[in-house]
Amino acid sequence: MLVPAVVLALALAQPALAEPLPALPAAFRGLRRDTAPYKGFSGVRVRSDSARKVFFHDQTIAVVEVSKDYNTMDLQNCELIEVNKAGLAREALQNLSTIAKPSQLGFPDMSALMRRCQALDEARAAAAAGGQGPAAVAATKRKIDDNPDPSSLLSGILPGTKWCGTGDIASNYFDLGTERDIDRCCRTHDLCPVKVRAFQSRYGLSNMSFYTKSHCVCDDMLLQCLKASNHSTANIMGNIYFNLLRVPCVEDVEDASVARMERRYRSAKRY
């Protein structure tokens, strides 16, 4: 998730900010999510007896593991991969065809799959935390929070996360910070299949701002996810993105004159 470092610093110092900030200084204007490194398929497989499937839509590829019981098709693992260039997408899909024949999904189905993947990750994390016990989890979290990762601070990433900020510092899809619930929200948003990156054009839309503009469904998912975490860090993130930056999103609208769907920008919701 893109958040310029100067805005991040101000919001951390004053989390309750609700008024727009002045224009960003020129030195910070180049900080945008375009610099996030490409993360190919990690090869992670949680079960040797699972069936693997590859799905894709626009700028996102999903490699999923499901049970071989085709009556249930239980989801067992997910890995989402961002491919924001046509050549990169073709190469990635060709490489992944050795795992399974890639199948294209519509945007609603891909969004639903991403929700299921996030829910699976949350359930798995809750089960793991339950095994440690609340006291152990809290003690570990305090220890890490007292010693924040220097690379996170220098990279303009929200402390405790690896995906919330100016790009990301994650090594792969499964690499999350200590604030895992919040980081999952940002990770899913970063991997939105439909978006217009900074200073680029797509879907007949131009984005001459310093922020990637994602599909409104992805922005809505982010807002709901951050609020559901009920955490002060999530509120900082939500205030920055929705209340301070107020980044417009991409929505689908039906053009009756040509009987087809078109895309346009919609104003951001309030957090």
> CA 156, 160, 162, 165: dihedral to nearest 10 degrees?
-30
pLDDT on residue 8: 59
pTM for the whole structure: 0.82
HSE-up of residue 130 (Cα within 13 Å, Cβ side): 6
The CA distances from residue 134 to 38, 131, 145, in Å, are 36, 9, 16
- Which token pair is 72? 């249930």
Fold classification of 5-266 (topology level): Phospholipase A2 (1.20.90)
pLDDT on residue 131: 62
pLDDT on residue 72: 63
Q: Nearest CA to 220 among 185, 191, 187?
A: 185
Q: Nearest CA to 1 among 182, 224, 217?
A: 182
* H helices, E strands: number in the chain: 8, 10
pLDDT on residue 22: 39
Domain boundaries, given as residue ranges, for the chain? 5-266
> CA 225, 78, 261, 212: dihedral to nearest 10 degrees?
60
Per-residue pLDDT of the chain (271 residues; tens, 9 = 90+): 666 555 555 555 544 444 444 343 333 333 444 557 789 999 999 999 999 999 999 999 999 999 987 666 699 999 999 999 999 999 999 999 999 999 999 999 999 999 999 999 999 988 887 765 544 444 444 444 444 554 544 457 899 999 998 788 999 999 999 999 999 999 999 999 999 999 999 999 999 998 899 999 999 999 999 999 989 999 999 999 999 999 999 999 987 777 788 999 999 999 9
**Active site members:** 189
pLDDT on residue 239: 95
pLDDT on residue 21: 41
E-assigned strand segments in the chain: 51-57, 60-66, 75-82, 103-104, 195-196, 200-202, 205-207, 213-214, 249-255, 260-266
pLDDT on residue 250: 98
